[in-house]
Structure 1
Amino acid sequence: MLRGRARRTPGAVLLAADGEWLTAEDLAARARRIGRALIASGVRPGDRVALMAPNSPAWGAAAFGVWEAGAVLVPLSTRYKGLEAGGLLRRTGARVLMCAERFRDTPSTGAIGRAEGRPEGGRPFAGLPGLAEAVLLDVEPGGPEARREGTVAFAAFLDRAGAVPEAAAEERALGAGGGDLAEVLATSGTTGEPKGVMIPHGQLLRGYWDWASVVGLDGEDRYPVIAPFSHGFGVNAGLLAGVMRGARLLPQAVFDPGGLAGLIADEGATVLAGPPTLFQGLLARRAAGERFPALRVGICGAASVPPELVRRLLDEGVVRRMVNAYGLIEGTVVSMTREGDPVEVVAGSAGRPMPGVQVEVVDEKGGPLPPGARGEILVGGSGVMDGYWGDPGRTAEAVDGRGRLRTGDVGVMSERGDLSVVDRKKDVFTVGGFSAYPAEIEALLVRCPLVAAAAVLPVPDERLGEVGCAFVVPADGGAGASAADTASEVTAWARENMANYKVPRRVVAVESLPVSANGKTDKAALARRLADGRER
């Protein structure tokens, strides 16, 4: 696909940010060089290569370089702390980590090193024996970071490319087939430990070609990619879809909501994707007197969209068309509204299933339900993942004997075939567009020396939609610090060791957690405490 794009429109700018522009020809050439350097570094077909860096043209080139080497991309969020990144590197058996050192206050390798140990035996982290090397994307040769054992500066890494003949690299690149694994994407769940979703090349190309077709994405579009490339939407509906269709991508390393209107005006952005709060912010800017051109299309997902919001966006000229969609990492793109759908359908549903995707709404026994009945959404067809990396047990729980994905979401199908997602069967809430899983946050919290037990609930938040509230039992039984001090110290620990969207915005120290008749934490009782103002 990348070669075809470079042949057809070699001079078309595909990635532009902070003064760096990559044309299709540039992207293909950089990807080939990175691929050769990875091969020279010992990366074999099917090896996992992790990428931990902010959105940028360099991220795009590195991702395509991983695929050039026939390897599997494992994107890691820059929001991850050492415990989170180290855990995923271990579980996926990543051979190489490509990372940015200077994006956050704490270098990536420094954060991981605190969790996984110092360099040992030529490897960057003692606790990750499968990880051979860390490639520092933003460090020059000779820099102090690059002198650490097991690390190499990006320029020195690229110099290795010359050791691999172009013909051998080309054979490796073109040896990848549609059924070969392209990505392992991290997703959490009710078990508390992130899972790696396996997605092959052919599935990505089909799913996101269809997504881009519904959106109408083409070479005239300017598309700010706000979702991190480390997220399934960012890398696939952003990077991959944009390169496929020749759109100009404007990757945002750090998103400033207050600057969005200016970005649209200055860069001529025509396409924007994000949660409803993103579009509500644009309406507020318009109401405050800011002038910016109407977007050709806005894409919402991950939340129900108030009908009045859609109407105002259209009536006030913020967007000319809105699209609502439903997808999940395990199921790729499931459904989308289509051009010409009435406002009520766009606001009240996620549209009709995509080509090659089958959607059923079933009862507790798996039997099909009629239109209008509420039940679990099952997804079959071309978008279903290959499974969870190294976890056949959880794969079997998620995918039934007919190859249908049990989404854990509750939905209703209309008479005309539009799907509405009305509830979550899984224990999950959404923080500013990011899925947060209480079980994962609880599992991290109990690793804090101050915490003996924890329970996390979502609470409403005006800016982010929902945030976490954590009830914690102090490790000393409450005999030491005051409840306020405990809450403050646990919050500080969480900020050091969790991605920021997972950090509970409220921490409540309690003597014990209530339990239900089956011995599990009674979260309904905790929710009642919050509602009644009885936190302790």
Structure 2
Amino acid sequence: MTPRTIPALLEKAKQTYADHPAIVDGPTTLTYTELADAAERAARAFLASGVRSGDRVGIWAPNRWEFPVAVLGAQTIGAAVVPLNTRYRGHEAREILERSRAAALITVNGFLGTDYVQMLHDAGPLPEHLLTVVDLATGWDEFLARGDDTTEKRLSDAKATVTPDTLADLLFTSGTTGKPKGVMSAQRQTIGVADVWARGAALSPDDRYAIVNPFFHGFGYKAGFVAAFTAGSTVYPIATYDPTQALKLIQDERITVLPGAPTIFTTLINHDDLEAYDISSLRFAIAGAASVPESLFADMRNILGIDEVKGAYGLTECMVATTTRPGEDPEHVAKVVGPAVEGLEIRTVTAAGTDAEPGEDGEVWIRGDNVMLGYFENPEATAEAIDEDGWLHTGDVGYLDEHGCLKITDRIKDMFTVGGFNVYPAEVENTLAAHPGIVEAAVIGVPDARLGQVGKAFVVLHDDGLTADAIATWLKDRLANYKQPRTYVLVDSLPRNASGKVLKTDLRNPPK
């Protein structure tokens, strides 16, 4: 039986898989024994740095071996981790650290030429509750050394505070108001999501799991390295995706499992030198987190030679909600995201509040053990999202077919997805509205062949001399690049209904 706390999971993995590799990151390899020992050393260092059970620890770093060690170390003493998107700018990261009241931040300077610590300082004074900032590039060994004098009793006392219901993580997701909301999951839920995913993928110690999905995202974290650690698989972190390097890694390391956004697979399928690489070791892949071209799953099997391909559906509030069934016809996989996973129920509900008929659109509702605990310190938003009967109202529209498989057809919310990352128009609109030359803006998602969708902004100006290029330049340092609109339309006014609400349907489909 899979343990229900992180300390117990690490102990079982250490006992069961011992000298089997847990992480291979370039020249660094950690066995399961070394992983457990490294996480415990990180736990001691967090305690020595003033972090306590119930605190939050921010992690703002790319996929590298220290990331899981920091996560597991914090969770070992009952702290919750707060992963931050590596594309955030300073003020975005600072807001998450403020809202979570993080006691520590693990980051890394120099990734893709970015000085994360300086960006944070440029955004304003560091929050008072932030006791320590650790730069993985220069200060990780020094950080770990802090814990060498932490007594065994102090560590044991901290571990003793951990229960299955201890908060494991806060994954922040912006809402339609543009304000970030912290999705809370207990340790039993984070492990539960990982276990469901691992069993659906039939992960085992024989698997070598290349993780290109960011560790700061649930896809790379819960369905990524935690899932691997429940099954004794070996994790290969990929910090930056390059299709040629990915093909070389698959060939050289005999990678067996490679989930990712659809763009990962389309770039491999269309790679000029694909036939020069032996990628026959690939046995399993999931293409998720974005809209999927109907031909993709067949191409993944027929061109890439992947034995089993699956679709899936989830959201931050319930990370793995559906997956397609084993042995499913690729044509069916292309049309649906499968039935509910074990432990979850799914309904589609009409605007009248009744269950939709098979094939009839309705809002997707989810209930079960792995639905979030709620939004951090936001009971109003929690009550709005989860009803009295425990159903999470996702805001997504879809239908269930005659087999109970879900098809997502639309979003009630305005959110759109750029290359697997959620973009909430209100956040972009609020940022644009802060420009002194802009009256207001409305942002929608439009189809894009490479990224699935990208942003398109309709902007009303104060200053007629302001250009689209100038707006884009101004926004560059204020929002992560995936949130930045790819096109701007300068307009005299925005279409509105009688109550004054912007009619985004008219922006998507202008009246003729």
TM-score under structure 2 normalisation?
0.94
Is 2:57 the partner of 1:49? yes
Q: Which amino acid aligns with 2:163?
A: G
Aligned-partner Cα distance in 2 for 1:157–1:449: 43
Aligned-partner Cα distance in 1 for 2:300–2:231: 26
Greater shift, 288-297 or 43-52, is seen at 288-297
Going from structure 1 to structure 2, the CA distance change for 1:133 and 1:324 (only over 3 Å counts) comes to: same
Aligned residue runs from structure 1 range 82-481, under 5 A: 82-117=90-125, 125=126, 128-139=127-138, 153-285=139-271, 289-294=275-280, 295-474=282-461, 477-479=462-464, 481=465
Aligned-partner Cα distance in 1 for 2:328–2:118: 50
Contact kept in structure 2, 1:310 and 1:347, CA below 8 Å: yes
Equivalent in the alignment of 1:142: none
Q: Give the superposition deviation at 1:64.
A: 0.8
Q: Which amino acid aligns with 2:474?
A: W
Equivalent in the alignment of 1:78: 86
Q: Give the superposition deviation at 1:511.
A: 3.8
Q: Give the superposition deviation at 1:307.
A: 4.1
Going from structure 1 to structure 2, the CA distance change for 1:449 and 1:7 (only over 3 Å counts) comes to: farther
Aligned-partner Cα distance in 2 for 1:488–1:381: 47
Equivalent in the alignment of 2:4: none
Aligned-partner Cα distance in 1 for 2:150–2:83: 25
Equivalent in the alignment of 1:38: 46
Aligned-partner Cα distance in 2 for 1:350–1:174: 40
Identity of aligned residues (%): 39
Q: Which amino acid aligns with 1:38?
A: F
Aligned-partner Cα distance in 1 for 2:235–2:355: 41
Q: Give the superposition deviation at 1:525.
A: 3.4
Q: Give the superposition deviation at 1:174.
A: 4.2
Q: Which amino acid aligns with 2:142?
A: A
Aligned-partner Cα distance in 1 for 2:202–2:427: 37
Equivalent in the alignment of 2:507: 526
Contact kept in structure 1, 2:428 and 2:483, CA below 8 Å: yes
2:251 match: secondary structure: helix
Aligned-partner Cα distance in 2 for 1:289–1:311: 18
Aligned-partner Cα distance in 1 for 2:14–2:169: 22
Aligned-partner Cα distance in 2 for 1:459–1:206: 35
Q: Give the superposition deviation at 1:408.
A: 0.7
1:129 match: secondary structure: coil
1:501 match: secondary structure: helix
1:73 match: secondary structure: strand
Contact kept in structure 1, 2:243 and 2:271, CA below 8 Å: no
Equivalent in the alignment of 1:499: 480
2:113 match: secondary structure: coil
Unaligned runs of 5+ in 2: 1-8
Equivalent in the alignment of 2:67: 59
Contact kept in structure 1, 2:290 and 2:418, CA below 8 Å: no
Q: Give the superposition deviation at 1:442.
A: 1.3
Query: Could you give the per-residue CA deviations for residues 21-46 of structure 1, whole angstroms, max 9, x where no partner exists?
Result: 11111111111111111111221111
Query: Could you give the per-residue CA deviations for residues 252-289 of structure 1, whole angstroms, max 9, x where no partner exists?
Result: 11111343222211221111112223222222127864
Going from structure 1 to structure 2, the CA distance change for 1:64 and 1:494 (only over 3 Å counts) comes to: same
Aligned length: 503
Going from structure 1 to structure 2, the CA distance change for 1:340 and 1:104 (only over 3 Å counts) comes to: closer
Contact kept in structure 1, 2:60 and 2:84, CA below 8 Å: yes
Equivalent in the alignment of 2:471: 490
Q: Which amino acid aligns with 1:23?
A: T
Contact kept in structure 2, 1:431 and 1:501, CA below 8 Å: yes
Going from structure 1 to structure 2, the CA distance change for 1:417 and 1:283 (only over 3 Å counts) comes to: same
Aligned-partner Cα distance in 2 for 1:510–1:360: 41
1:285 match: secondary structure: coil
Task: Name the Cα RMSD after superposition.
Answer: 1.9
1:55 match: secondary structure: coil
Contact kept in structure 1, 2:308 and 2:327, CA below 8 Å: no
Going from structure 1 to structure 2, the CA distance change for 1:512 and 1:73 (only over 3 Å counts) comes to: same
Q: Give the superposition deviation at 1:231.
A: 0.7
Unaligned runs of 5+ in 1: 118-124, 140-152
